[in-house]
Amino acid sequence: FFTKTHNYHWNVKGKDFPQVHAATEEIYNQFAEIFDALAERIIQLGDTPYVTLKEVLDKAKIKEESKTSFKSKDVLESVLEDYKYFLKNFKKLSEVAAKENDTTTQGLADSQVAHLEKAIWMLNAQLA
């Protein structure tokens, strides 16, 4: 997702280029922080996060994007679908953490659920 949003950032075209260019930069910066927080939590729990591109690609569920030219509507629709995927999985993480009485992980997941629900609402409004 991090690489995909960089691709969108660099290669979006159209009259609303400045807005989508800025938005995709904000997205990949936010997700860099999210990924970092998740990796640190994994380590705190005694496990190891993925550290190679091969591991990441082998486990990836987000569809890669190899095109190098995008209309802004296509970028926003793609990000929306990925946000829905992340939302579903952060909700699952929250449920699992709650069952394990891991309030720290649950709080981390719940904060992302709130962020993603708002972002999805805003993208839907923009695409309407």
**2-25, pLDDT tens digit by residue?**
999 999 999 999 999 999 999 999
Cα Rg of the chain (Å, integer) = 16
What are the C-alpha distances in Å from 44 to residues 32, 40, 107? Answer: 18, 6, 15
Options 1.20.1260.10, 1.10.10.10, 3.30.70.870, 3.90.1330.10; CATH of 2-127: 1.20.1260.10
Q: pTM for the whole thing? A: 0.92
Torsion of CA 44, 49, 3, 61, to 10 degrees: -110
pLDDT of residue 53: 87
User: Is-contact 9 28, C-beta < 8 A?
Assistant: yes
Identify the burial level of 76 via C-beta atoms within 10 angstroms of its C-beta, where 0-12 means exposed, 13-18 middle and 19 or more buried: buried
